[in-house]
Amino acid sequence: MRRNWPVLLLGLVLLIGLILPLASGAAPAGFYVEVLLGGLMTGVLYSLVALGFALIFKASGVFNFAQGAMVLFAALAVARLAEHMPLWAAIVISLAIMVLVAWLIERLVLRPLVNQEGVALLMATLGVTYFLDGFGQTVWGSDIYKIDLGIAKEPVMILEQVFQGGILVNKEDFVAALVAAALVAGLTIFFQKTATGRALRAVADDHQAAQSIGIPLNRIWVVVWSIAGLVALVAGVIWGSKLGVQFSIAQVALKALPVVILGGFTSVSGAIVGGLIVGVGEKMAEVFLGPVLVKAFDLAGGGIENWFAYVLALLFLLVRPEGLFGEKHIDRV
């Protein structure tokens, strides 16, 4: 417990950074809340991608670099299929495709590599990332596509009485947040209450013990990868409808890496909280810290949200390598 003070210090600095713009009067309250909400919404997207990471890592010890590529692949599938059929049908078929893809990855790539070092597995999923990026764009095309969820996109003004000028909010963002919350709730119930979920948790705790009491590891891993495919699909649809489906999704999804470091590799709730912290943190940094830096160092523009999450994760690694909610066990060198 003695080691807790650096974490507290880091948290304190972040908290001060969060409050300072409002307290110093640099930003009007309405604008501040808008930025905060925007950050939270981005954070939800990060959380969704990070959730996929955490699920697979927990159950099979594989650090799935390809989660971002899976998100892109799913989003492309939905966008292109929806051109020919109603949206719900496109989503159902995409789900089937994602389960198939997940199953194939597990079968062809990771099964032969069972018991290899984590780094070899990481590189294998890097290979999968490249393959999926190329394959997805070969099959579905590489333009920018749209997913239309049929929700009004124009922003709504709310809380006009509370803040001067009100707050602009996208209805879509709220739906996205609701869907994400529903997904997490559903997953939690699945993990806690169903037999398969219990088996999954058993495998996550100890592969060998789980196998020795008769849990079929192979089937469990297929299930886990399929769930990761489902999470990727949800993330892809939400992201695609918000920002359009294009190649950059796979790159932005890399942000989920610092998120899982922040939250802890094995923790579902960590993925959610970490995503929100990163989302809010980088938006705040971009909007409020960015201009200060630009002025102080005479920079050619802001853009610190590109690295903020990573550097935050780096600092976090130094003070608390296991993340906020991760298990304490980590190889100290």
Partner 1 sequence: MLYRENGQFKSSYAADQQMLPILQDRVIMFAALVFAFAAVPLIASDYLFLSILIPFLILTLAAIGLNILVGYCGQISIGHAAFMAVGAYAAYNLAVRVPGLSFLVVLPFAGLVAAAVGVLFGIPSLRIKGLYLAVATLAAQFFMDWLFARVKWFTNYSSSGSVSTAPIELFGWVIETPVEKYVFLLAVLIVFTVLAKNIVRGHIGREWMAMRDMDVAAEVIGIRPVYAKLTAFAVSAFYCGVAGALWGFMHLGSWEPLAFNLNLSLNLLFMIIIGGMGSLLGSYFGAAFIVVLPILLNQVPAALGIPMSTAMASHLEFMIFGALIVVFLIVEPHGLARLWAIGKEKLRLWPFPH
Applying CB under 8 A, does 119 fall inside the site for partner 1?
A: yes
Among 3, 297, 328, 329, contact with partner 1 (rule: CB under 8 A): 297
Is-contact 201 194, C-beta < 8 A? no
Nearer to partner 1, 218 or 306 (CB): 306
Length of the chain in residues, anyone?
Answer: 333
Other C-beta atoms closer than 10 Å to the C-beta of 287 total 20
The correct pick among 10, 20, 22, 126 for binding partner 1 (CB under 8 A) is: 126
| Binding of partner 1 by 138 (CB under 8 A) | yes
Grouping H, G, I as helix, E, B as strand and the rest as coil, residue 80 is helix
Residues 252-291, interacting with partner 1 (CB under 8 A): 254, 257-258, 261, 265
* Both structure tokens of 68: 């971002």
Bridge partners for 158 per DSSP: 167
Q: Shortest distance, CB of residue 307 to partner 1, whole angstroms?
A: 4
Q: Is 181 in the site for partner 1 (CB under 8 A)?
A: no
Which residue's structure tokens are 């495998």? 203
311 binds partner 1, rule: CB under 8 A: yes
Please state, in angstroms and rounded to a whole number, the distance separating the CA atoms of residues 318 and 169: 37
Total chain residues near partner 1 (CB under 8 A) = 53
Determine the Cα–Cα distance for residues 220 and 218; give it in Å rounded to an integer.
5
Distance between CA atoms of 77 and 233, rounded to whole angstroms?
A: 9
Residues 6+ away with beta carbon under 8 Å from 204: 58, 59, 266
* Window 83 to 112, contacts with partner 1 (CB under 8 A): 108-109, 112
134 binds partner 1 (CB under 8 A): yes
In this complex, which beta carbon is closest to partner 1, that of residue 43 or of residue 258? 258
Q: Mapping DSSP to helix (H, G, I), strand (E, B) and coil, where does residue 169 land?
A: strand
Which pair of tokens denotes residue 330? 């980590």
Q: Which residue of 18, 36, 128, 230 would you call a contact of partner 1, by CB under 8 A?
A: 128
**122 or 189, CB closer to partner 1?**
122
Residues forming contacts to partner 1 in the complex (CB under 8 A) are 63, 108-109, 112-113, 116-120, 122-124, 126-135, 137-138, 142, 251, 254, 257-258, 261, 265, 297-304, 306-307, 310-311, 313-314, 317-318, 321, 330-333
